[in-house]
Structure 1
Amino acid sequence: MALDRRLNAYREDLADKSLEGQVAARRFVVGEPARIGLPVAALRPKPDLASGMDTEVLLGEEVTVFDRADGWAWVKAANDGYVGYLPDAALGSPGAVPTHHVIVPRTFLYPGADLRFPASAALSMGSRLAVVGEAETRGTRYLLLADGRAIVAGHCLPIGTYASDDYVAVAARFLETPYLWGGRSGFGIDCSGLVQLSLMMTGRSAPRDTDMQAVGLGTEIGRDDLRRGDLVFWKGHVAIMEDDKTLLHANGHTMTVAREDFEAAVKRIGWLYDLPTGYRRPVR
């Protein structure tokens, strides 16, 4: 059986050294570590801007780089193992190990510790930063980066600590965020990206795509057992139960993250995508 190319880096000419003996390739390499240097970088199945986006990686997240050519890098994301191509310019050096992560859906980097300065970048929840100091201006506390840029301290926490252990509450913070196929950030997100990012922000991991989550995330349950935090799967779609009657999901109907009555959603989605294919409860 062929290995899933979304999670295994192999081509005819080159493959991850760890796959030697499992796949055929002319050359096997260990890969080099790097970190994402842009606020958000799209990961694509082909080195082509016209190729649809599979997922996104966020500032400070680590990747393994297997190849660089013609302005593109072929990488594997450390967070969920996803493999794809992104512009070489999106990569920074491994650099300082991030110390903090962003815990609000969206925030800004400033050129210094003052909210009146013009913002130099917008960051998503989950972005990772290496903090070297602190400053305070007019009562607002900032965290400082090595290049002098600053971020509001209340928008971050040290990596390994979390604002909530309730991933449904995290997901609800994304209400009205635009739907984006392959999106995994506070600027645009898809259904499985909402599940993955929300769980990540409570210290739990999840596969990236809906089909992966439907077989590998948590435990299977029955429809009559649904409660807050459970997942409902359709072919190609997933939603989070906010309670036993209401769900949250990033969806192409409203083109946002929206709250919807569960039974109404089943009826609305059913005419095109049939009934739900399964129900699962993420493991705490």
Structure 2
Amino acid sequence: MPELPEVAALTSFVAENGGGQKVSKVSVSALGLLATVEPAPAALVGATLTATTRHGKFLDFQFSPSSSRQADRPIHLVLFLARAGWLRWSDALSSVMPKMGGPIAMRLWFENGSGFDLTEAGSRKSMTLWLVKDPLQVPGVAALGPDALTLTLEQFADLMARSPSRVKNVITDQRSLAGIGNAYSDEILHTAMVSPFAVAKKLTDDAVARLYASMRSVLITASSRLEGQEAARLKGEKRSGMRVHGMFGLPCPVCGDTVAQVEFADKSLQYCPTCQTGGRKLADRGMSRLLT
């Protein structure tokens, strides 16, 4: 799933390549993609891409209509890529209309011939798109907690102190902290030398400070590495920067111990026993107790 660094890089890439361009055509070919009725996708035709931003893991593309009437406010295309969604850019986008139910969920053309496809791999379709006049009309955006890169240490410490949940769950709960998902949370916890199953409110002040510093360091480093990359290269660049996530069975780059994992129904987490859990392996199947 794209997280804060990838979403930030995608918004920058689209701004650089599509900013100031006028939409010539839009085709939505996945019935479950669009979560809003008005404005209709056709309302984007003739509008100009004037701004791009992100809200946590949501992308927000602002299109300003050609009319200068007060009632014609900009339209925000808000996109949640979910686990398997992606934006595929082309400087010379195919003129062919995508087939209903095919691999392309939406195709948007600009007048200069460029544009992008929205695609989603697999049979489970969770990618969602909203067309709204205000991003806060999107329930997921309205419910977001503070952004992971704008939170102060004091605010972060207060968040930890108030939560009885596992620390990994806290930092990936978008209502508490926006932008971090499964992959970067593994990296942050490993860098901070904190167990993913540690209870947030029981962390020492030192552990909280390490976790906060690691969160900023991991996200800023990843964002810097991805900045300026083409959209097609972002997934590969993300994987290349991982130290423990997705590295089950490989040596930890810090201590050389074997990276372990805990599997859940629809995902898994990876960690280093030596760096994070005092050399002990966490019980699998989502159980929080340690094996003895």
Larger Rg: 2
Larger strand share, 1 or 2: 1
- Shared fold, TM over 0.5: no
Please give the TM-score of this superposition, normalised by the length of structure 2. 0.28
Larger helix share, 1 or 2: 2
Please give the TM-score of this superposition, normalised by the length of structure 1. 0.29
Structure ranking higher on relative contact order (CA contacts 8 Å, 6+ apart): 2
